[in-house]
């Protein structure tokens, strides 16, 4: 039971930090204490939840199928006239991994219910044989509970690492630029290197020296760097990245002035080495 109780505490801790909203009171000079913090799962609510309820909440609000769209939670509107922050942690995994974790958690719920409600009824604890059978059942159950606890502990460790990385980013100059300026300086992002890879990997288009089709560049970006997206760093599109890069340029007309499909090229006088 102690092992299962530790797992319950881990689940409560994960749910408590999963969805958080902080809104500034509007008063000056109070620092972090000036923020009014609310959570989707407050401690009072979590204290009354059973293991089964915690598991259901975990899969409703945290663990998600990577191949299915994530549903939006109903949340309070944030004010326009005060500083406000909303964070949400979700763990995306393959359908197979999600099913395996769900099966493991359901097994733990059944195990807890068995120990709490049915253990005494299943075995004759007035006999040596009955006690031996009960002890054997408890030992097997303990091993399952420990495997589950270690599995959940692994999830919590990854959670902490991600939280620490996010906190470090928010405290960095790049993070401050994104939070308060709207976008990260291009030179502090991997976007330019990704764009360079895509341009160099696309076939040159005849008619304009050194230029490649913008459409081909975008396709190559999706292939070579699927996780690098302008919106991750505060930019609306790859066109904006190209325009503000001072390294690449867009070409929309041929040498005779006729309009053509958009092209991308490295600006003259700039080397293509990193």
Task: Determine the pLDDT at residue 274.
Answer: 41
* Domain presence at residue 156: yes
Q: Is 64 left (phi over 0), alpha (psi -120 to 50) or beta?
A: beta
* Residue 178 is assigned to a structural domain of this protein: no
d(CA 146, CA 102): 16
122 and 76 in a common domain: yes
Determine the pLDDT at residue 116. Answer: 80
Residue 272 pLDDT level (bands cut at 50, 70, 90):
very low
Per cent of the chain over pLDDT 90 is 27
| Domain count within the chain | 2
Does residue 59 belong to any structural domain of this protein?
Answer: yes
pLDDT digits (tens, 9 = 90+) for 21-32: 888 887 766 677
Last residue of a domain, one of 109, 139, 171: 171
Task: State whether 161 and 261 are in the same domain.
Answer: no
Same domain, 147 and 204: no
Residues 8 and 126 in one domain: yes
pTM, two decimals, is 0.61
pLDDT at res. 271: 46
164 and 40 inside one domain: yes
* Residues 40 and 126 reside in one and the same domain: yes
Residue 207: what pLDDT?
60
Structural domain including 240 reads 186-266
Residue 189's pLDDT is 86
CATH code of the domain covering residue 244: 3.30.420.610
Query: Are 229 and 163 within one domain?
Result: no
Q: Is the same domain home to 193 and 80?
A: no
Whether 180 is covered by a domain: the verdict is: no
Do residue 21 and residue 76 come from a single domain? yes
Is it the case that residue 55 has pLDDT exceeding 60? yes
Distance, CA of 218 to CA of 224 (rounded, Å): 10
- Specify if 79 maps to a domain: yes
* Same domain? 110 vs 77: yes
Higher-pLDDT residue of 9, 29: 9
- The answer to whether position 272 is within a domain reads no
Mean pLDDT for 32-59 is: 89
Given a contact cutoff of 8 angstroms between Cβ atoms, the answer to whether 168 and 124 are in contact is no
Beta bridge partners of 19: 88
Token code pair at residue 197: 């890879």
Q: Residue 213 forms beta bridges with which residues?
A: 263
- Do residues 81 and 146 both lie within one domain? yes
**Domain co-membership, 147 together with 230:** no
- Cβ-based burial of 190 (10 A; exposed 0-12, middle 13-18, buried ≥19): middle
- Is 273 part of any domain? no
**pLDDT tens figures, 79-117:** 877 878 888 888 888 888 888 889 988 998 988 888 888
* Residue 177, domain member (yes or no): no
- Dump pLDDT digits (tens) for 209-265: 778 999 999 999 999 999 899 988 889 999 999 999 989 999 998 888 889 999 998
Which of 171, 197, 219 is a domain's end point? Answer: 171
């Amino acid at each position: 039971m102690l092992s299962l109780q530790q797992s319950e505490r881990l689940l409560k801790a994960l749910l408590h930090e999963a969805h958080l909203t902080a809104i500034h009171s509007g008063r000056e000079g109070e620092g972090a204490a000036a923020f009014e913090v609310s959570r989707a799962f407050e401690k009072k609510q979590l204290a009354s939840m059973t293991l089964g309820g915690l598991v259901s909440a975990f899969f409703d609000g945290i663990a998600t199928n990577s191949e299915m769209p994530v549903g939006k939670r109903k949340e309070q509107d944030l004010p326009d006239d005060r500083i406000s922050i909303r964070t949400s942690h979700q763990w995306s995994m393959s359908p197979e991994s999600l099913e395996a974790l769900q099966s493991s958690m359901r097994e733990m719920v059944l195990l807890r219910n068995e120990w709490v409600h049915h253990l005494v009824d299943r075995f004759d604890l007035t006999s040596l044989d009955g006690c031996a059978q009960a002890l054997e059942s408890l030992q097997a159950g303990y091993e399952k509970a420990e495997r589950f606890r270690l599995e959940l502990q692994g999830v919590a460790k990854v959670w902490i690492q991600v939280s620490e990385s996010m906190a470090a980013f928010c405290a960095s100059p790049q993070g401050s630029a994104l939070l308060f300026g709207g976008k990260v300086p291009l030179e502090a992002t991997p976007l330019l290197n990704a764009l360079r890879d895509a341009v160099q990997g696309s076939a040159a288009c005849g008619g304009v020296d050194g230029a490649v089709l913008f459409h081909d560049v975008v396709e190559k970006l999706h292939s070579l760097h699927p996780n690098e997206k302008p919106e991750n760093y505060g930019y609306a599109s790859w066109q904006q990245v190209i325009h503000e890069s001072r390294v690449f340029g867009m070409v929309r007309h041929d040498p005779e002035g006729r309009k053509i499909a958009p092209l991308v090229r490295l600006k003259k006088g700039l080397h293509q080495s990193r």
